C-alpha cells in the first residue's frame, strides 16, 4: 500500500523545500558576488557538486609571521544557512589552527548564539584572516601554534601544500589573487 502524506506532513515538506531553496539562492548569490568583486586576500568558491561545501585559500597576512603563506580550507554551510552558522576548517598546516579540526570563531558553529544571518562567506573569511595572527592563549586551546615558531616557519606551512589540495578546487588561485589585489588597488 502506497504511503500518502497526511495534511500535517505536506506543509512540513513544503517548508523544508522552501527553506532549502532560500539557502541555495543565498549561496549562489554569494558565489556570484565573490566572483564579480573578488577579495584581495582570499579566493573562495562552492564545490560544483555541493553548494554547501566551499573551499577557500587565504593569503598569509602581510606584516605577520604568516606573510607569504597560502592556506587552504573549507567551509561547511548547514542546510539552514544563513540562519545557522557554518563550520570552518583549515586543511593545510598553518602554525595557528589544528589541521582538519573545526575552528572556534564567533562566526562559526562553535558560537551559534553570536551568528548573524546577514553575515556571509566574505564576512567569515575576513574574520578568519583578522583572527589568524592573534595569539593562541586561554580559551583558544585548539590552536596548534608554538611561540618559538619563526616567521619563515609559519609562512612555509602554507606554501608547499597548496598544489596538492587546492589545485583541483581553486585552479586559478594565483592568478585570481593577483587580479583581486590589482582590483583592490585600483578601487582604493
Question: Which cell numbers hold the place of 170?
Answer: 581553486
Please tell me the predicted confidence (pLDDT) of residue 145.
44
pLDDT at 166: 52
Residues of the chain with pLDDT under 70: 1-19, 136-188
Read off the pLDDT of residues 121-175 as tens digits, 9 standing for 90 and up: 999 999 999 998 887 654 443 444 444 344 455 445 555 444 444 555 555 555 6
Structural domains of the chain ordered from first start: 9-186 (3.10.110.10)
8 A C-beta contact, residue 88 and residue 73: yes
Sheet-wide strand order for 70-76: 42-47, 50-59, 70-76, 87-90
Q: Which residues are catalytic?
A: 104
Cα 6 to Cα 9, 12, 18, 20, 150: the distances in Å are 5, 10, 19, 22, 64
pLDDT attached to residue 64: 87
Write down the pLDDT at residue 12: 46
Contacts of 85 (CB under 8 A, 6+ apart): 78, 107, 108, 109, 111, 112, 115
Element at 179 (helix H, strand E) = helix 173-186
Find residue 60's DSSP bridge partners. Answer: none
What is the CA angle 147-149-154, rounded to 5? 120
Distance CA 160, CA 155 (A): 10
- pLDDT for 30 equals 97
Give the pLDDT confidence score for residue 126 in this predicted structure: 96
Amino acid at each position: 500500500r502506497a504511503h500518502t502524506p497526511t495534511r500535517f506532513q505536506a506543509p512540513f515538506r513544503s517548508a523544508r523545500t522552501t527553506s532549502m531553496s532560500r539557502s541555495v539562492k543565498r549561496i549562489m548569490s554569494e558565489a556570484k558576488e565573490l566572483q564579480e568583486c573578488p577579495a584581495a586576500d582570499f579566493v573562495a568558491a562552492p564545490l560544483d557538486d555541493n553548494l554547501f561545501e566551499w573551499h577557500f585559500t587565504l593569503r598569509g597576512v602581510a606584516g605577520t609571521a604568516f606573510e607569504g603563506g597560502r592556506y587552504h580550507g573549507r567551509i561547511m554551510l548547514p542546510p539552514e544557512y544563513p540562519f545557522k552558522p557554518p563550520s570552518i576548517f583549515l586543511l593545510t598546516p598553518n602554525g595557528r589552527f589544528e589541521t582538519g579540526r573545526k575552528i572556534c570563531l564567533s562566526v562559526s558553529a562553535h558560537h551559534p548564539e553570536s551568528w548573524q544571518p546577514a553575515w556571509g562567506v566574505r564576512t567569515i573569511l575576513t574574520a578568519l584572516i583578522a583572527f589568524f595572527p592573534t595569539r593562541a592563549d586561554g580559551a583558544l586551546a585548539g590552536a596548534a601554534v608554538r611561540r618559538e615558531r619563526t616567521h619563515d616557519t609559519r609562512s612555509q606551512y602554507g606554501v608547499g601544500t597548496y598544489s596538492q589540495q587546492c589545485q583541483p578546487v581553486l585552479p586559478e588561485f594565483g592568478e585570481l589573487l593577483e587580479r583581486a589585489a590589482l582590483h583592490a588597488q585600483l578601487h582604493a
